[in-house]
Structure 1
Amino acid sequence: MSKPRLHPGPEHPITITPTGKRVTITVGGTVIADTPNALTLQESNYPPVQYVPLGDVDPAVLTPSDKQTYCPYKGDASYWSLPDAADAVWGYPDPYDAVSEIKGFVAFYPDQVELVIDER
């Protein structure tokens, strides 16, 4: 059975824009990601999510997880664990066309990391 595939629209908008500021992600006082190239994904009424380029994340802290989830608007998500936080990072390796900008980017659960957007 195929998975439902939905397209963003007025009833469920999704926008992706460059954050335009440096985003730093820290765990236990250690910076694990630092980038000026983050994207802000705003989906419907959910809080905005920062997606950072996977290449700007310290690969030594990421362990691939077996967890996978599905979003009918974005596609299949893969997960990574951090040393003290299982499945704390996710990304869409092959996102649907409507959100293709997030390919190669990952997001972090905000309760598992400290995410700072430089407001300067």
Structure 2
Amino acid sequence: MWDYPRPPTVVAASGRLVEVWFGGRLVASTRRAVRVLETSHPPVYYLPPRDVVTELITPGEGLSFCEWKGQAQYWDLQVGSRQAVRAAWSYPEPLPAYRELRDMLAFYPGRVDRCTVDGEAVRAQEGEFYGGWITSEITGPYKGGPGTSGW
């Protein structure tokens, strides 16, 4: 990850099966995900809305701004009586270099029950703000844990 680019780069996930589970439901399943690679961060997977059960998500509170990608919108996830606040985010109007991310959804692995890449369970990147997906092929250190915000 230390050889990942800055500014971040969007790359195809090479047909990998990317899935998100919450409340006993498969919330998203796709082979059309893209990954965003950024220095000192595990990859973040962005999923096309057509491969997400969008009736389970509603706009969440708050916005944030990425100097590279633009303004992010947050999404809450509701399955039955279970709710995950700000479980995902998207860029409705990304900056031009990231237009490929328009309306795609990125899920926080730590706010849902399970995320997988080709069947491998993902570990969540530490920290409340970061949404990286850590698999066995990803090695740290990476931002998110205590004492890493100044890197």
Return the TM-score normalized by structure 2: 0.68
Residues 31-64 of structure 1: per-residue CA shift (max 9 Å, x gap): 0001110001112211110000012110221011
CA-based RMSD of the aligned residues comes to 1.9
Specify whether residues 11 and 80 from structure 1 end up closer, same or farther in structure 2 by C-alpha distance, changes over 3 A only: closer
Is 2:113 the partner of 1:93? no
Q: Determine the structure 2 residue equivalent to 1:17.
A: 11
- 1:56 to 2:51 alignment: yes
Counting only pairs closer than 5 Å after superposition, residues 31-50 of structure 1 correspond to structure 2 as 31-50=26-45
Which of 1 and 2 has higher RCO (CA within 8 Å, sep 6+)?
1
Higher strand share: 1
- One-letter amino acid of the structure 2 residue matched with residue 87 of structure 1: R
What amino acid is aligned across from residue 77 of structure 2 in structure 1? L
Structure 1 segments unaligned to the other structure (5+ residues): 1-9
Runs of 5+ unmatched residues, structure 2: 121-151
Letter of the aligned partner of 2:55 in structure 1?
Answer: A
Q: How many residues end up aligned between the 2 structures?
A: 111
Identity of aligned residues (%): 35
